[in-house]
Amino acid sequence: MWTGDKMITNPNAYDLIVAILNAIGVYNIILGFFQDLGMEYILRVIIVLVIIAVLLVFVLLTVMFLSWLERKMFAVVQSRYGPMVTGPRGLFQPIADGIKLLGKEDIIPAKADRWIFTLAPFVVFVSVLLVFIPLPFGRSLIVSDLKVGLLYIIAISAVTPISILLAGWASNNKYSLMGAIRAVAQDISYTIPLAITAIAVVVFVGSLSTVDIVNAQSGYWFGFIPKWFIFLQPLGFILFLIACIAEMGRIPFDFQESEQELVAGFFTEYSGMKFAMFFLAEYAHLFAVSGIIVTIFLGGWTGPALPFIPFELTSLIYFMIKTYAVIFFAMWLRDTVPRVRIDQLLNLGWKIMIPLALLNLLLAAFVVTAGVI
Amino acid sequence: MTDLFSYLIISAVIFTIGAYGIITQRSGIKILMSIELMLNSANLNLVAFSSFNGNASGQVFALFSIAIAAAEAAIGFAILVALFRARDTINLDNINILRW
Amino acid sequence: MFSDFAALIVLLPVIAFVLTLFLGKKLPHGGAYFPIAAIACSFIISLGIFLEIYPNGIVQQSWPWFANMNIGILIDPLAVVMLMMVTFVSLLIHIYAVGYMAHDPAKPRYFAETSLFTAAMLGVVLSDNILQFFISWELVGLCSFLLIGFWYHKPSAAAAAKKAFLVTRVGDVLFLAGIVLLYVNLSNLISNHLFTPEPGNFILQFKTMFEAAALIDPTQLTYITLLFFGGAVGKSGQFPLHGWLPDAMEGPTTVSALIHAATMVTAGVYLVARTFPMFALTPATLGEHFPALFPAHVPDSLLIVAYVGGFTALFAATMGLVMNDIKRVLAYSTVSQLGYMMLALGTAGAVLGAKAVGISMFHLISHAFFKALLFLCAGSVIHAVGTNDIREMGGLFSKMKITGTTMMIAALALAGIGIPFLNIGTAGFFSKDMIIEGTFEYGEQTGDMIPYAFAIIAALLTSIYIFRLWFMAFTGTPRSERHSHESPNVMTRPLMILAILALFFGFTQGYFYPYLEKNFELMHVEVAGHEGAAPEIPVIVILLPVIVGVLGFLISYAIYYKRMLDMSKIISSGNPIYKLLLNRYYEPKIGADMIGVKLTHGVVAQSGEFVDRKIIDGLVIDGIIGKTAFWLGETARKLQTGVVQNYASVTLLGVGLLLLILKLRGV
Amino acid sequence: MDIVFLVLSIFTIISSIMVVGSKQLVHSAVYLAGALMGTAGLFLLLKAEFVAWAQVLVYVGAVVTLILFTIMLTRKGEEENGE
C-alpha cells in the first residue's frame, strides 16, 4: 500500500538548492568539506534549515502584507483611506503593530488554566505553518512532496479546532467558550464536505500528492481551456470554496469571534504576543487555504513558460497571482457580505453541502469509471 | 532500525495504561479516553506487524479500527451527554440504572 | 421476440405498484398512469406472444430457485388466453377507475393495490410450477383483502375484508396441503426410482406433475386433486365457501369488477383447468361402490367438481333472485357462473376429455367480459344515483342511455340469448350453450341427468334475476329524488368496448375450442376422454337454453315492467322461502354465529384456554420449573452490579486466564 | 533513527500515563492528543504514512475534539468529580 517508497519522486526545494549550488559549482566543494569531517548529514540539516527559514520569512512577510491589504481594502470599500502614516501608504503598519504587541503586557487571567492558555496559541500557529510543507509554490518550490500530501493538509487542518477549543476553555470566560464551541461545531461540519470534494479531485488524479495534482492540471483542452479542475468540477470548486471560507472562520461565517455577540470570541482574553500569534495564524491560514484552493482547483503553478526566465520563477509568479486572486475574493467577501445565522450555517453544512459533496463525488467516480476522461 | 519487539513493548505498555485507566477511573469521559488508548495500542501492533512483515493488510485493519474508534467515540460521548442531561452527573458510580 | 419479455408481464405492474405507492401522492389522478401504462404494456406483450405462438407454440422459461424448485414461466394456449383477458379487462377497469375514483382521497393506494393485484393474478397465470402458482395465489388473496377493505374506516368493509381473507384461507390451507401431499408423493416416486423427471425439469413443475400423475397411487391422487379443488372452492366462491364473495361488495365497485370478472375468482377455475389432467386420472370408485347414487366410469374428482359446481350454480342463482343490492345480485350471479365453469370442467371433462378445458375457459372469458361490463355499469349507476339499493333506483334509462344500453347487452349475454342454428348470438349464448350441451352429453353417456337439471334451472333463474335487476334499475318511475346523470367519457368508453366484446366475442368459438383443446397435447400429456360415440343432441336440447333465457326475460318483463303480479304481497307476507333466500340460507348466521362464535370460540378456544391456564401454567409457573427459574434469576441478577469497572475487570481477568491456559497448553 | 524512536515512544508513554493520571479532564484530553500524535509519529517511523495521517485526522481531529466537546457540555459533572 503506502509502505514502499515511490519510484520517481517529484523534485522539491532541497533538490533545487542542490541544483543551484551545482550550477554555481560550489556544491561539490562544500560536500567534500563535510565529507572530510565525516558528517555529511550536517550539510543536509543546514540545507533543510535554510529552506525552513526561507519559508518562514516568506510566509511571515506575506502575512504582514495581507493584514495591511485587508485593512486597506476594507477602507477603500468604505470610502476611507485606511492606514496611511507608517511607510508609503501605511505599508509598514503591520510592523508597527507587531512591535506594539510585543511590547504589551502578557496578561493571563487569574482563573485561567495557565498551562493550556499558553499552549493553545502555539498549537494554532504551528499547525497552520505545518500546512505549508506540502504546498507547491512553484515547480520544485516545495518543502517536501509528501505521498499523502492532501490527506496531510486535511489532517493538520483538523488539529486547529482543538487548540481553538482549548484556548476558549482555558480563558475561563463564557464568551470565549461560546466562541470556541461555535468555531469547533463549524469546523467539524465543514471539514466533511471539504474532504469529500478533495477526494473527488483525488479520484481524477489517482494520487494524494499535491505535485501530482498540479501536474495533472497542466495542458489544455481543445488547445485553449486549461485543464484545471475548476472546469471539470465546478460544483466541487464552489463547495470547496464555501467550506474553506467556513473553515477559516471568515465572514460570512465568522462565528468564532463574531464581535457583536461574543466580544472577540475565543481570543477575548488574549493579549500581547499570544494575541499576535492568533492574529498571524489567521492570516497565515488565509494564505495557506488560498494556496490549497489554487493547487487543487486552479492549476497550481501551471501556466505558459516564458523565454529566458527559469520556469521555477515564472511558476512561483503564476502561483502567487492565482493565490492573491483567491485572497482578494475572500477579502472582498468580508467587506460586502453580512454574517449568516448560526443555525443557517449548520443547516447549510449538514443538509446541503454534504449531500452535494457526495453527489459531486459520485459524479466524479462515475465519470472516471466510465472512462469519459 | 528498531526491531519489532520494541514496538510491541510500547504497545503493551500503552494497553496496560489504558486497562488500568478503565478499572480505576470513575469519570465516564476518562474511561472512554482509556478505551481510545487501548484501541490505539492495538493499532500500533497492527501497523508494526504489517510493516515488519511487509504485508499491507495490517494497515488496512488499522484504518478500519480507526474508523470504528471514531464511531465508538461519537456514540459513547453522545450517551454521556445524554446521561448528563438526565442525571446531572457523568460519574459512572452514580449511573447504575441498568442494575437489577 | 415478445416471448423474451414474458417476465415483464408480471414485473411491469409490480414496478407500477411501487412507483404509484411512493410517487402517487404527488401526481395527478393519484399516479394512475403508472398502472395503466404498465398493464397496457403487459397486454401488448401478451398479445404479441399470442400472435407469436399461435397456433402450436408454447413459451417455457425456467430458472433454478432453491433445492429442487424453480421459478418459471409457462405460456401455453390456456395461459395466453387468460393473460390477454386479464390484462385487457384489468386495463379497462383501471381506465374506468380514473373516473370512478376521481373523488377518493386515497387514490394512490387504490391504484397501487389494484396494480399489485393484477400483477399477482398474472403471476398465477404465468406460473410453470405449482409452488410459484401458490405464492401468487396467496398474493392475490392478500390484495383482495386490502382492496375489499379499501374503505377500512367502514366497519362493514373491514369485516368483509376479514371474512374474505379467513374464508379463502380455508381453501388456501387445503390447497397447500394438496401441494405438500403431491410433493411427498412425487419425491417418494423419485427416490424409489419409479419415476425420473426429464433433465432440466423440476419436481413441482406442471410438466413433471402431469408426467408423474399416472404413477401416483390413485387414492392419493384423488386426495391431492380434491385438496386442490378445495383451494379452488375457496378462491372461486363455490359452495360452501361462497359466503365471502357477496360480502366482498364492500370494496369500490371497480374492485368488485376486478375481483369478479378478471382476476381473483377465476383463479380457482384456472387452477382446476391447469391441473385438469390430474383430475381426469382419478379413479372412479364412487360409481363402483354406490352404483345407485353415482354414475359409473366418471373420475371421482371430476364428479365432485361437477356436483359442487352445478349445485353452486343453482344455489347462488336462487339467492340472486331476491337480493336488493345491485352489486350483490351481480355477486351471486358471479358465484353461479363460476359454478357453471366448474360444472363444465366436471361433466364435459368426464366425457369429452381436454375439450372441457376449452369449454370452461371460453365461458370464463366471455363471462369476464360481460361480468366486468355488468359491474362497471353498476358502478356507473351507483356513481350516478349514490345508492346500491335497486329499490331506490328506477327510470334511469332516459338519463343514462349508454349505461342502460351496455348493461342490457351484458344482461343478454349473461342470460345467453341468441338464435340457435344460425349461430348468431351474444358471447354468453355460445359459451353457456356449450356447457349445457356438455352436461347433456354427460347425462346421455352416464345416465346421470342431475347436472343437466341444475344447469337448465340455473339458466332460467339467471335470466330472471338479471332482467329483474335491469327493469328495476332502468325502467319505471324514479324512486329517489337524486338528480342522476350519465357518467364521464373515461367511464363510458370502457363500457362500450366491453359491450362490443360481450356481443361479438362468441364468434371466435370456432378458433377457440380447437386451440385450447391442444393445450395439453402441446405439453405431451394425454387426457383421455370417456370414449364413446358422440350422441345425437336432440333439437329440444339445443333450443332449451335459449327458451329458458327468453322465458326468464318474459317473466321479469311481466312482473317488474308490466307489474302483472304484485311482488310485494309475496315478499311481505313472511313467506318462508323468501325469508330463507333473503337471509342467504342463513349462511352468515351459520358461518359467524355457529361456527365462528359457538364452535370456534365457545368450544375450541375455551377448552384450549382451560388447558393452557389451568394445566400448563399450573405445572410450569407454580410448579418446580417456575420456582427454580425464579430462584436462579433472583440469585444471578446480583451479578449485574451496574458498575462498569467490575465488568471491565472481569473481562480482563478472563482474557488473562485464557492466555494463561493457551500458554500452558503450549499453543 | 533509534533516537527518534526513543524520543517518540517516551513521549507517547508519558502522555498516556498523564491521560490516566491527570486530575483535570481537559488536561487528560490534551495528553490524549499528545499520545495519539506520538503514535502517529511511530506510524510514520513504520513507513505507514497514510495510517499516520488518517490517525491524526480522525483521532486528533475528531475524537479528541469530541472529548473536549463532551467535557465542556458536562462541565458541572466534571467539577463535581474533579476532586
pLDDT digits (tens, 9 = 90+) for B53-84: 888 888 888 889 888 888 888 898 888 888 88
C501-530 tens-digit pLDDT? 888 888 887 788 778 777 777 776 666 655
Q: Is residue C320 part of a domain?
A: yes
- Under an 8 A CB cutoff, do D27 and A3 touch? no
Pair C463, C571 in one domain: yes
Q: Is residue C81 part of a domain?
A: no
- Under an 8 A CB cutoff, do B23 and C652 touch? yes
Residue D52: give its domain's CATH number.
1.20.120.1200
A287-326 tens-digit pLDDT? 888 999 998 888 888 878 778 887 778 888 888 888 999 9
> What pLDDT does residue C533 have?
56
Q: Is residue C143 part of a domain?
A: no
User: Which chain B residue has the Cα nearest residue D10?
Assistant: B10
Q: How many domains in chain D?
A: 1
Pair C418, C516 in one domain: yes
Q: Which residues of D touch B17 (CB under 8 A)?
A: 13, 16-17, 19-20
- Under an 8 A CB cutoff, do A2 and B60 touch? no
Nearest to A353 by CA among A153, A154, A187, A189: A189
Q: Residue C428 has which C-alpha cell?
A: 354468453
> What pLDDT does residue A7 have?
47
CA distances from C466 to A36, C57, C94, C311, C527 (A): 121, 40, 25, 19, 37
User: Which chain A residue has the Cα nearest residue D71?
Assistant: A169
**D67 touching A, CB under 8 A?**
no
User: Which chain D residue has the Cα nearest residue B56?
Assistant: D48
Q: How many domains in chain C?
A: 2
Optimal mutation site among B15, B20, B23, B26, interface C, most CBs of chain C within 10 A: B23
Q: Which residues of C touch B96 (CB under 8 A)?
A: 641-643
What percentage of residues in chain B have a pLDDT greater than 70? Answer: 94
- Under an 8 A CB cutoff, do B54 and A2 touch? no
- Under an 8 A CB cutoff, do A116 and D26 touch? yes
Q: What's the rounded Cα separation, in Å, for the pair A133 and A111? A: 37
CB-CB contact of C529 with C353 (8 Å): yes
Q: What's the rounded Cα separation, in Å, for the pair C305 and C229? A: 7
- Specify the length of chain A in residues: 373
CA distances from B54 to C451, D40, D42 (A): 88, 19, 16
- Under an 8 A CB cutoff, do A1 and B51 touch? no
Taking the mean position of all CA atoms in its chain, how far away is CA B14? 10
Q: Looking at residue C2, what DSSP letter applies?
A: G
Residue ranges of alpha helices (H) inside C54-154 are 77-100, 107-126, 130-148
Block mean pLDDT (10 aa), chain A, length 373: 48 78 80 78 82 87 86 86 79 81 78 80 86 84 82 86 82 80 83 89 86 83 81 88 85 72 73 81 88 88 80 84 89 84 84 90 85 67
- Under an 8 A CB cutoff, do A2 and B59 touch? yes
Q: Is residue C546 part of a domain?
A: yes
Q: Is residue C503 part of a domain?
A: yes
Q: Which residues of A touch B56 (CB under 8 A)?
A: 1-3
Q: What's the rounded Cα separation, in Å, for the pair A267 and C561? A: 99
Q: In sequence order, what are the beta bridge partners of C424?
A: C419
Size of interface A-B (CB pairs under 8 A): 10
- Under an 8 A CB cutoff, do B96 and C643 touch? yes
Pair C516, C609 in one domain: no
> What pLDDT does residue C176 have?
92
C378-414 tens-digit pLDDT? 888 887 777 777 777 777 777 788 888 888 888 888 8
> What pLDDT does residue A4 have?
43
Q: Looking at chain B, which subunits does it touch, using at least 3 CB pairs closer than 8 Å as the criterion?
A: A, C, D
Pair C559, C660 in one domain: no
Size of interface B-D (CB pairs under 8 A): 136
Residue D24 C-alpha, separation from nearest chain B C-alpha, in angstroms: 10
> What pLDDT does residue C574 have?
64
Pair C655, C510 in one domain: no
> What pLDDT does residue C490 have?
79
User: Which chain D residue has the Cα nearest residue B19?
Assistant: D20
- What residues contact residue C100 under an 8 Å CB cut-off, 6+ apart? C252, C253, C254, C379, C380, C383, C491
Residue C584 Rama label (left phi>0; alpha psi -120 to 50; beta): left
Q: Does the pLDDT at position C239 exceed 50?
A: yes
User: Which chain A residue has the Cα nearest residue D70?
Assistant: A181
466580544: which residue's cell?
A: A263
> What pLDDT does residue B100 have?
57
> Which domains, ranges and CATH numbers included, belong to chain B?
4-87 (1.10.287.3510)
Pair C558, C640 in one domain: no
Pair C617, C512 in one domain: no
C153-193 tens-digit pLDDT? 888 888 888 888 888 888 899 999 999 998 888 888 888 88
Pair C494, C629 in one domain: no
Q: What's the rounded Cα separation, in Å, for the pair C431 and C416? A: 8
A1, A155, A181 ranked by CB distance to D57: nearest: A155
Physical contact, C and D (3 or more Cβ pairs within 8 A): no
Q: Residue C607 has which C-alpha cell?
A: 377448552
Give the three-state DSSP class for C407: helix
Q: Which residues of B touch C641 (CB under 8 A)?
A: 96, 99
Q: What's the rounded Cα separation, in Å, for the pair A186 and A256? A: 9
Q: Residue B68 has which C-alpha cell?
A: 470504528
CA distances from C533 to A236, B8, C267, C441, C442 (A): 86, 98, 33, 10, 12
Q: Does the pLDDT at position C102 exceed 50?
A: yes
- Under an 8 A CB cutoff, do B51 and A3 touch? yes
Please report which confidence band the pLDDT of residue C661 belongs to, taking 50, 70 and 90 as the band edges. very high
> What pLDDT does residue D1 have?
56
Pair C513, C626 in one domain: no
**B50 touching A, CB under 8 A?**
yes
Pair C566, C657 in one domain: no
Show the low-confidence residues of chain D (pLDDT under 50).
77-78, 80-83
Pair C574, C636 in one domain: no
Domain containing C324: what range?
300-526+536-582
Q: Which residues of D touch B18 (CB under 8 A)?
A: 16, 20
C420-468 tens-digit pLDDT? 777 777 888 888 888 888 888 888 777 778 888 888 888 888 888 888 8
**Mean of pLDDT values over C108-119:** 89
ipTM of model: 0.66
C490-500 tens-digit pLDDT? 788 888 888 88
Q: What's the rounded Cα separation, in Å, for the pair A362 and C266? A: 49
Higher pLDDT: A89 or C631? It is: C631
D13, D47, D80 ranked by CB distance to B10: nearest: D13
Pair C648, C568 in one domain: no
Residues B48-59 as b/e (b if ≥16 CB within 10 A, e otherwise) read: bbbbbeeebebb
Tell me what the pLDDT averaged over chain C comes to: 82
Q: Is residue C112 part of a domain?
A: no
Question: Which amino acid is located at A249 in the chain?
Answer: G
Domain containing D42: what range?
2-81
- Under an 8 A CB cutoff, do A165 and D33 touch? no
CB-CB contact of D63 with D55 (8 Å): no
Optimal mutation site among A1, A2, A266, interface D, most CBs of chain D within 10 A: A2
A74 exposed, middle or buried (CB, 10 Å; 0-12, 13-18, 19+)?
middle
**Mean of pLDDT values over C116-140:** 89
